[in-house]
């Protein structure tokens, strides 16, 4: 990840050199306010690391230390502060107010802020753990910490009003606004972004593309080398067009001959760097291996999602479910898996693999049938399966009131408790009451086999969704205390055993 940052910052030194300051687009509602310029570093010069006591986002930055981008779009102000490849910082502050501290050591940081009216949000990425952000909101002139889900909720509320005309700025990329995948190929860093909002313009400091009537960008791919290329997938109606761009002469230019772009990229020979050396690995969806890929789990529309994304220098040529093979790179091909997304609900499990070569994307769809994964040939069939999963009925957990109604509180004193992660109801016979039968709802668990047998206590255990799992009880017989057990299975209470105990 450290190298990932180095690669794109090296280019951005060059990019910002030509970007200048205060350039405005033709759209009066979308203004680039500031993009600092820079001097291209010597490629062979080793630069000593500089550790700052703090990065102050309330003051003008030193351009040799921080790459700063600011723009306003639809009345929302976006700012990005990225430390140069040789710079670390121990804390982030805004003038006299400290937002966050790293501890004793300096860290590579990227800070993103979003502001409109009285709402101010801040996200801090710490490299090489850029996918684990520290999030904040400014309240009464003080920065207060937020959990990432709460931050995302507030950011979505801020961005949703412009959802139909979002601008995707490379320097503001995060998993809050796009699903992002990165990998090395031909010595370049390839960054793929699938916007989470309807995107009608794409930029990297300067404007790359702006939508025509009925167009939207559904995917952007950025290629890093000693210049920059960008490929956009633009949807219009039922069709998708691929548009290619190259950064040259201080601006983004359309590339009409894609083969020219491909040949230029392939001809690039990267310098040897052990940190960017790509290694081949296997992805196992049953394991979390953060040395090879990151794993995220979340729930959408009642569907459980597990997404595994390889680290940039890991070439995934095989995806497995334990010992079961899901997919393997065909011989003589250079496809790699850049994302595996497992979706499950009830007894249904499906998966979508995102495959990539240096210049192309494709998708494979699967459904689990028993222990095997079967290919779903058409995306429409996969989408239909997802819709069916969304409509699956979810069993509502039985309420405590319902549980209590199933035991006889006229005979027992009832206590709610929790033992070993099981919810339990503890029943104790009331004084002066003779109990010769133990019931749960309409089911009888125990009935006195002999005259004089009396139930004294019982305990019911409940599992997922408060469904009954087991029960224990005690009854007296001729001065002896006998303990019995029942298991709930198939809608019935099954007898396990009765054990004599000394009374």
Q: What is the 3-state secondary structure (H, E, C) of 364-404?
A: EEEEEECCEEEEECCHHHHHHHHHHHHCCCCCCCCCHHHHH
Residue 314 confidence (pLDDT): 93
Domain match, 104 and 206 both: yes
Last residue of a domain, one of 223, 245, 274: 274
Bridge partners (DSSP) of residue 373 are 368
The answer on pLDDT for 302 being more than 90 is no
Last residue of a domain, one of 274, 303, 324: 274
Domain match, 436 and 342 both: no
Q: Is residue 109 part of a domain?
A: yes
Residue 42 confidence (pLDDT): 32
Q: What's the mean per-residue pLDDT of the chain?
A: 83
Overall average pLDDT of the 238-251 stretch = 91
Residue 244 confidence (pLDDT): 93
Q: Is residue 218 part of a domain?
A: yes
Identify whether the C-beta of residue 72 lies closer than 8 Å to the C-beta of residue 33: yes
Residue 43 confidence (pLDDT): 36
Q: Is residue 122 part of a domain?
A: yes
The answer on pLDDT for 206 being more than 90 is no
Distance from C-alpha of 204 to C-alpha of 459, rounded to nearest angstrom: 64
Which residues, at least 6 apart from 48, have a Cβ–Cβ distance to it below 8 Å? Answer: 86
Domain match, 315 and 260 both: no
The answer on pLDDT for 174 being more than 80 is yes
Distance from C-alpha of 390 to C-alpha of 301, rounded to nearest angstrom: 6
Domain match, 370 and 433 both: no
The answer on pLDDT for 1 being more than 70 is no
Angle at 132 between CA 130 and CA 135, to 5 degrees: 105
pLDDT digit string (tens) for 382-420? 999 999 999 886 655 666 677 888 888 889 999 888 876
| Higher per-residue pLDDT: 270 or 487 | 487
Overall average pLDDT of the 91-103 stretch = 91
Q: Is residue 395 part of a domain?
A: no
DSSP state of 40: P
- In total, how many domains does the chain have? 3
Domain match, 253 and 301 both: no
Residue 41 confidence (pLDDT): 29
Instruction: Please provide residue 104's backbone torsions phi and psi, each rounded to the nearest 5 degrees.
Output: -75, -35
Overall average pLDDT of the 230-240 stretch = 94
Most confidently modeled range among 81-90, 251-260, 493-502:
81-90
pLDDT digit string (tens) for 421-450? 678 999 999 988 889 999 998 888 888 888
Residue 195 confidence (pLDDT): 95
Instruction: Please provide residue 5's backbone torsions phi and psi, each rounded to the nearest 5 degrees.
Output: -65, -40
Which DSSP string corresponds to 173-185? Answer: --TTTEEEEEEEE
Domain match, 361 and 429 both: no
Identify whether the C-beta of residue 439 lies closer than 8 Å to the C-beta of residue 408: yes
Domain match, 123 and 254 both: yes
Identify whether the C-beta of residue 349 lies closer than 8 Å to the C-beta of residue 367: yes
Identify whether the C-beta of residue 177 lies closer than 8 Å to the C-beta of residue 159: yes
The answer on pLDDT for 331 being more than 60 is yes
Q: Is residue 33 part of a domain?
A: yes
Last residue of a domain, one of 390, 408, 443: 390
Q: Is residue 115 part of a domain?
A: yes
Domain match, 180 and 328 both: no
Residue 396 confidence (pLDDT): 58
Residue 95 confidence (pLDDT): 92
Domain match, 31 and 79 both: yes
Domain match, 92 and 169 both: yes
Query: Which structural domain range is residue 302 located in?
Result: 278-390
Residue 476 CB: number of other CB atoms within 10 A? 14
The upper half-sphere exposure of residue 455, i.e. CA atoms within 13 Å in the direction of its Cβ, equals 26
Which residues, at least 6 apart from 289, have a Cβ–Cβ distance to it below 8 Å? Answer: none
Q: Is residue 157 part of a domain?
A: yes
Overall average pLDDT of the 457-473 stretch = 87
pLDDT digit string (tens) for 122-157? 999 987 655 678 999 999 989 999 988 899 999 999
Q: Which tokens sit at 335?
A: 């496809």
Which residues, at least 6 apart from 83, have a Cβ–Cβ distance to it below 8 Å? Answer: 52, 55, 65, 66, 67, 89, 108, 109, 110
Distance from C-alpha of 439 to C-alpha of 445, rounded to nearest angstrom: 6
User: Is residue 111 classed as helix, strand or coil in its secondary structure?
Assistant: strand
Domain match, 15 and 80 both: yes
The answer on pLDDT for 7 being more than 50 is no
Identify whether the C-beta of residue 254 lies closer than 8 Å to the C-beta of residue 242: no
CA dihedral 358, 254, 205, 168 (to 10 degrees): -70
pLDDT digit string (tens) for 14-43? 444 444 333 333 333 444 444 444 433 233
Residue 49 confidence (pLDDT): 86
% of the chain surpassing 90 pLDDT: 48
Residue 451 confidence (pLDDT): 84
Distance from C-alpha of 468 to C-alpha of 448, rounded to nearest angstrom: 22
The answer on pLDDT for 457 being more than 60 is yes
Residue 372 confidence (pLDDT): 93
> What Rg, from alpha-carbon coordinates, does the chain have?
30
Domain match, 211 and 269 both: yes
DSSP state of 11: H
């Amino acid at each position: 990840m450290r190298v990932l940052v180095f690669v794109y910052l090296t280019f951005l030194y060059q990019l910002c050199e030509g970007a200048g300051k205060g350039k405005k687009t033709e759209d009066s509602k979308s203004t680039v306010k500031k993009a600092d310029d820079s001097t291209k570093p010597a490629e062979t010069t080793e630069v000593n690391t500089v550790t700052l006591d703090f990065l102050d986002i309330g003051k003008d930055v030193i351009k040799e230390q921080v790459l700063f981008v600011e723009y306003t779009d639809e009345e929302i102000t976006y700012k990005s502060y990225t430390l140069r490849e040789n710079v670390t910082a121990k804390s982030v502050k805004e003038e006299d107010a400290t937002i966050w501290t790293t501890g004793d050591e300096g860290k590579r940081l990227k800070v993103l802020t979003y502001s409109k009216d009285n709402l101010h949000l801040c996200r801090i990425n710490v490299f090489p753990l850029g996918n684990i952000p520290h999030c904040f909101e400014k309240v009464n002139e003080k920065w207060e910490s937020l959990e990432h889900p709460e931050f995302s909720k507030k950011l979505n509320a801020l961005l949703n009003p412009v959802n139909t005309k979002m601008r995707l700025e490379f320097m503001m990329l995060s998993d809050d606004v796009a699903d992002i995948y990165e990998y090395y190929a031909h010595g370049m860093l390839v960054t793929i972004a699938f916007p989470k909002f309807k995107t009608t313009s794409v930029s990297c400091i300067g404007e790359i593309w702006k939508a025509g009537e009925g167009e939207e960008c559904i995917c952007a791919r950025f290629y890093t080398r000693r210049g920059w290329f960008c490929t956009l997938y633009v949807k219009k109606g039922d069709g998708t067009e691929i548009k290619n761009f190259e950064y040259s002469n201080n601006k983004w230019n359309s590339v009409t001959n894609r083969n020219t772009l491909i040949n230029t990229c392939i001809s690039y020979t990267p310098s040897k760097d052990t940190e960017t050396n790509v290694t081949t690995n296997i992805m196992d969806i049953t394991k979390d291996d953060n040395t090879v890929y990151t794993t995220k789990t979340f729930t959408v529309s009642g569907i459980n999602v597990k997404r595994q994304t390889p680290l940039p220098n890991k070439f995934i040529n095989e995806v497995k479910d334990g010992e079961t093979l899901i997919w393997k790179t065909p011989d003589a091909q250079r496809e790699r898996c850049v994302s595996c997304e497992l979706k499950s609900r009830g007894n249904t499990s499906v998966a979508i693999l995102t495959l990539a070569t240096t210049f192309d994307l494709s998708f494979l769809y699967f459904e689990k049938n028993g222990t095997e994964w079967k290919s779903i040939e058409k995306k429409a069939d996969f989408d239909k399966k997802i819709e069916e999963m969304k409509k699956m009925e979810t069993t509502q957990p039985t309420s405590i009131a319902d549980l209590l109604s199933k035991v006889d509180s006229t005979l027992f004193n009832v206590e709610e408790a929790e033992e070993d992660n099981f919810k339990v109801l503890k029943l104790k016979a009331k004084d002066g009451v003779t109990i010769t039968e133990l019931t749960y709802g309409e089911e009888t668990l125990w009935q006195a086999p002999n005259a004089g047998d009396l139930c004294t206590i019982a305990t019911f255990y409940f599992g997922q969704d408060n469904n009954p799992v087991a029960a224990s009880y005690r009854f007296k017989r001729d001065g002896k205390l006998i303990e019995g057990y029942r298991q709930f299975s198939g809608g019935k209470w099954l007898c396990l055993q009765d054990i004599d105990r000394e009374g």
